[in-house]
Structure 1
Amino acid sequence: MENTIVEDLCELTEYTRGKLLFKYLGVSIIAKRLSAIDCEMLVQKMIMKVKIWGTMNLSYAGRVKLVNLGLLHMNTYWHSMFVLSKGY
């Protein structure tokens, strides 16, 4: 739409124009490629999972298996939902 029409609509409805940002399952939904900053949440979640799983009373091999599978599935989920930046 033309900017004049959008401005008129905002004036009539008393709404302000903003960005369409919302979260679904804790992830910001955007229509473009996720930037490195947006992917930082993924990295932080992975680090938290590794820290939590590392303290469990499991054998070393059990912790390694849990971490590898958990991180693999988390990464696969994010790649299926979003276009990630090349840095991640």
Structure 2
Amino acid sequence: MDTQVEILQKLGFSQGLLPFKYLGVPLSTKRVSILQYQPLIDKIMHRVQSWTFRFLSYARRAQLIKSVLFSIQVFWSQVFII
């Protein structure tokens, strides 16, 4: 019996394929394509559109958007090889 198959059976794991998502981040062995960035773009658009700006001035809205988008970009830049 193949050693890898034996280990998988004893530990109760199954063999998967790349790419897959771990903690919402797609993992791949290759460079990330533009299509794989689409979830990031959708997430940013959804977050910005869901905010209610009735109580914020224009300057505060701009600062909020800038800081949130920057933090999302920093996180995804650490995860992906750009």
Matches within 5 A, 1:2-81: 18-20=16-18, 21-24=20-23, 26-53=24-51, 55-56=52-53, 57-81=55-79
Unaligned runs of 5+ in 1: none
Divergent runs of 4+, >4 A: none
Tell me the SS of whatever aligns to 1:40: helix
**Structure 1 residue 33: Cα displacement:** 1.3
* Whole-angstrom CA distance in 1 between matches of 2:78 and 2:61: 26
Q: What do the CA deviations read for 1:30-70 (whole angstroms, capped 9, x no partner)?
A: 122111111000101111121123x2321111111000010
Aligned length: 74
Instruction: Check 1:17–1:77 CA distance in 2 against 1; reply closer, same or farther (3 A cut).
Output: closer
Could you tell me the TM-score, scaled by structure 2's length?
0.70
